[in-house]
A and B are shown apart, each in its own frame.
Chain A
Amino acid sequence: MHRSVDRTERDDGAGPDDANSADAPFAAAYQELRKLARFRLRGGGRNAVLDTTSLVHESYVRLAKAGRLHVEDRAHFLRYAGRAMRSVIVDLVRNHQAARRGGAVERITLTTRAGADAKAAGERQILRVHEAINELARHDERIAQVVEMRYFGGLTEKEIAEALDVTDRTVRRDWEKARLWLAEALK
């Protein structure tokens, strides 16, 4: 354990290039997810819905194609994507709520009222799941990750299993338990 690996000294000089960082592939993943999320909401116009599953997959493909991720990064990426999506979405919800609290001039009609309520409830749920994950993580990091990847990342059980290096069955069971806890927390 204590042998120091040989240092490689190198000779000749090299030219400059632009910067990158050690955690670069994943920092890049985060930026990519954010950017995609923003454009998806902006470009699609009226009916833009944030489809997290395709967002995650698309950003993976884009990064892989750009040579910023390698095949062996996939598991790491998926873990990271769950976390990144969670923070992207929670930020969006908070911004949206802040904008509304800013004193929206709401036109109150029967039909729109119902729609608005459903939406606000959805947003509340998102924030409460976010908080519940923090709470879960204090007791069981893996369960928290499963929820993060499934709920926020929209990943399949198989992908989650791959990312966490556990069996599908374990993921299914974790998710089953997590839903019980969450249902209790959200009641």
Chain B
Amino acid sequence: MLKFGIDADTWSALNDLLDRALDLAPTERIPWIDALGPEYEALKPRLRDLISRGGDLRSSQILGTIPKFPDLADEEEGPPPALGDIVGPYRLIRELGAGGMGTVWLAERHDRLIPRPVALKLPRGCWRTTALAERLARERDILATLNHPNIARLYDAGITTGGQPFLALEYVEGRRIDEFVWEGRLDVRPLLTLFLQVTDAVAHAHSHLVVHRDLKPSNILVTAGGEVRLLDFGIAKLLEQGETRETELTEQSGRALTPDYASPEQIAGTPISTASDVYSLGVVLYELLTEVRPYRLKRDSRGALEEAILQTDPARPSDVARERSMRKALRGGLDWIVLKAMTKARDRRYASAADLGVDLRRFLRNEPVDASPPSAAYRIGTFVRRHRLAVTAAALLVLTLMAGTVGTTAGMLRARRAEASARTEAATAERYSQFLVNMFETAAPEQSKGRDISAREILERGAAKIRTELANEPLLEARLLATIGWVYTRLGLYSEARPTLDDAVALARKMGDSGKVDLAQALYRRGQAERILDQPITAESDDREALAILERTYGPNDVKVEPALTELGLLLRTSDPDQSLRLYRRGYDLLVAAHGEPNGAAAVLLQNIGAVHDRARRYRDAKDAYEQALPLLKRHFGEQDHHVGTVLGNLAQLYQILGDYPRAFEAAQRGLEVDTTVSGPDHPDVGIAWLKLARISEKLGDQRLAVEQIDRASAIFGLRLPPAHPLRLYAAYFKAGFLIELGQLGDAQTLLESLAATQASSLEAKVALFNGWVRLAELERLNGRSRDSRELAERVLADPAARRDRRLEADARWARAYALAMQEQKEEADAERTRALDIESAMAQGPAFQSVFADAKYYVCAGNATRALAILREAIAKGFHDPIVLHDPAFASLRERQDFAPIAAAVTPRPRPGAPAAP
């Protein structure tokens, strides 16, 4: 074990001296050390020693780069085997081949009267370990259990006294199966009959729990008599419990693996099973039938191939086969058999070679095969793997399909009594579904000619097609555009959403009575986009119109009114929380009445109800609602769902407010995880999740991390949201706070000044902006400009918007009180403090620690440090542990005092859970 054997003080002293010495020319260093004063006497020998190593270093490349590592294969390499050499009991006759793993020789036993030719495999020197001896012994044992006419026998395996390992296999004279098939121009039936010998041999091995792991044409020979011989079970490994993991041992042997035929799980290094051989067999069969490789690579590299094996679906054999007659023969059954064998998800493949053989025999007997064309679900699954963003679009389209057909047919049929219009409606609903399906189908790889299609592209094409092809069917056009607009919104593509929804609204409006339900839907969807884009006025008129239409059509107590209620509730959640709560509750009751129990939509409303309580600082009610909603949401939508992400994010923030930072961090991280998965990394929801995480990191004392996280949030917001959007303003506001705590006051000032110059239109944006002003006021005060500070606070308080948000008002009053206290206007300052405290106590639902902190700061500003410390101590006794007092520059003077130490100890954060540990 290495130790520098020095304590922290010595280290820092030596470090300083080293810095100074290294500033000097090399020749001056030792004399400089010698001349150091007597107080450095103890350090001098070490220092000289260290400095003198500099000379050695310059002349050598030591530590410049890592030693060449670990060209294992070169190690202990003897001379290559040569003709006539004796290896163990064998004499080498002729080299048959050489590969990454070693060489193969035709050899014969020299100690026998009647020599039997064998194929002698001589692995390279890197295998000369005990591990190899074990492996050879194991292989011998495994292969002893395999007794099949189509599997080449292993006669012997061992290590010579010279250390050369060897394997003696049955010598097979034959040709590679691919050459045999192509040169013989074998037709489908004889080809398959031949291939069945392969599947039978592999099936035999599988039934003995032996996986070949390296099936490829060069390992499959055909003898002159037309019999298949499978070679090289050299890297097979006894299957334990049905599945095997890559151990160090097999990982080494994995070097010999040929990626062309390797299964996705072999590439990914995940456990392999008999299904891995099925995959390789599928590739071999694909090539035999089509004479082409299954993957067309963008560039010819191993990386590209691995990528393709993991991600790309092969083209249908019938689309690529060289021979026209072959294409015809492949279409249908054989296509599906080959593709089923080659499916990425191994549980969708044939479980073993035997099953593959069974299906091939069915095909030969002209019976229906087990493999079938990929289902819609499978295609979507494939698509899911290809594109994150597109996935969400696809999933959403599927969702609207289900919701659309149920909602429109059932609902509207009842709404329209006349049978004729019911028929029209049913037809419209059918066409609607069909159109969406087609849109998706176009995006499937085989129709887009392997080109990557983004979600945006799918939607754009869909919208264009709708506009041109459905010009005569305005109702259908409106409905489809409304759907596409909604998908845009959900993908965070707001600028595309608006015009699409505008068109939908206009079209539906023109339809009069027959389009009213579609109009309502288009309206509340447009209201949603407008709400997110912070356009509350137009949003409210859209939502209210939608609600009125639905109430008139179905009656106020019909569950179909609920989407409009919810949307309006969302819109009013900050400006009119009480009405918002009433709307949510009404929607919730309608849903429960209609379904008999809370369904998914009702669970969403529960979460929204929680959020209203949360914002009104009724934390207990909020926590109850969230915790009630979370399991319901998981049950109805699955773990990976954006509602689940939302609740997790809200819970995280609630825990943070309640002072449980580690739990908050955990929830925030899980929320971020879910949001990223569901919405893609650039979605504003993900930005919100980063923002929340940043604020918790701050509380856990990691301001640097907090800045990194908030920057990620800002980057995301910048992509999708207009400049004065409240979220962008808040991100800047929070970042400025972190910078202040890091002592980077200049950077904070710049940021806040640019924030202060923003024009805010909506109430929310204004509140965000004013928060920035209050923080700027804080900064001005820290810089000693208490007059500017006070002026900023007063400008905020003068605006009616400030009164709408009590937290903001309190913060502004505190800022004014601090500035007044610093200007020694004691009476006025105290009066403002009292007003701030009144607001705080009116708001306080949980522990009122925010006011503790603010009040302590007040006394710092008023020059009464003793009182400030007393307030903090008292709060700590009650459980206050916000580490902000360690960072806020306002407390700098307090922190220098000795009696601050116990406070510091009490608020120092515990380590963050889930932080990556150093290796």
Contacts and interface: CB of A to CB of B under 8 A. Distances in A.
Contacts of B269: 35, 38
A50 B68 CA distance: 7
Interface residues on B, range: 35 or more
Interface string B882-919: 00100010000000000000000000000000101011
B129 A105 contact: yes
A185 B573 contact: no
Judged by DSSP, the binding face of B is helix
Contacts of A47: 71, 73-74
A17 B486 contact: no
Contact of B69 (A7, A8, A92): A92
Nearest to B60: A183
A171 B162 CA distance: 51
A140 B6 CA distance: 13
Contacts of A176: 22, 54
Interface in B63-101: 63, 65-78, 100
Given A115-B75, A123-B69, A17 B257 contact: no
Contacts of B22: 173, 176-177
Contact of B67 (A12, A125, A183): A125
A11 B50 contact: no
A70 B708 CA distance: 13
B128 A12 contact: no
A163 to B, nearest CB: 12
B352 to A, nearest CB: 27
B567 interface: yes
Given A7-B650, A11-B570, A17-B677, A135 B4 contact: yes
A86 to B, nearest CB: 6
Judged by DSSP, the binding face of A is helix
Q: Pick the most buried of B50, B62, B611, B919: most chain A CB atoms within 10 A of its CB.
A: B919
B885 to A, nearest CB: 11
Contact of B3 (A11, A104, A135): A135
Q: Pick the most buried of B4, B614, B649, B737: most chain A CB atoms within 10 A of its CB.
A: B4
B607 interface: yes
A166 interface: no
Interface string A31-51: 000010011011101111110
Contact of B68 (A106, A122, A128): A122
B69 A50 contact: yes
A76 interface: yes
A17 B384 contact: yes
B159 interface: yes
A140 B395 contact: no
A132 B692 contact: no
Given A42-B257, A46-B73, A106-B163, A185 B78 contact: no
B839 interface: no
Interface of B: 1-4, 6, 8, 11-12, 15, 18-19, 22, 49-51, 53-54, 56-57, 62-63, 65-78, 100, 124, 128-131, 133, 159, 162-163, 248, 251, 254-255, 257, 259, 268-269, 302-303, 306, 384-385, 388, 391-392, 394-396, 398-399, 486, 490, 528, 563, 566-567, 570, 573-574, 600-601, 604, 607-608, 611, 614-615, 637-638, 640-643, 646, 649-650, 653, 657, 669-670, 672-673, 676-679, 681, 685, 688, 691-693, 695, 708, 711-712, 715, 726-727, 730, 734, 737, 764, 771, 775, 807-808, 811, 850, 853-854, 884, 888, 914, 916, 918-919
14 contacts: A3-B811, A7-B615, A9-B607, A15-B394, A16-B640, A17-B392, A23-B914, A38-B251, A49-B69, A70-B715, A116-B76, A151-B66, A179-B62, A180-B18
Interface of A: 1-24, 26, 35, 38-39, 41-43, 45-50, 52, 58, 62, 67, 70, 72, 76, 83, 86-87, 89-90, 92-93, 95-96, 99-100, 102-107, 109, 112, 115-116, 119, 121-123, 125-126, 128-129, 131-132, 135-137, 139-140, 151-152, 154, 173, 176-177, 179-187
Given A6-B764, A38-B269, 10 more contacts: A14-B637, A23-B914, A42-B254, A43-B302, A47-B73, A96-B70, A104-B130, A125-B67, A139-B6, A139-B15
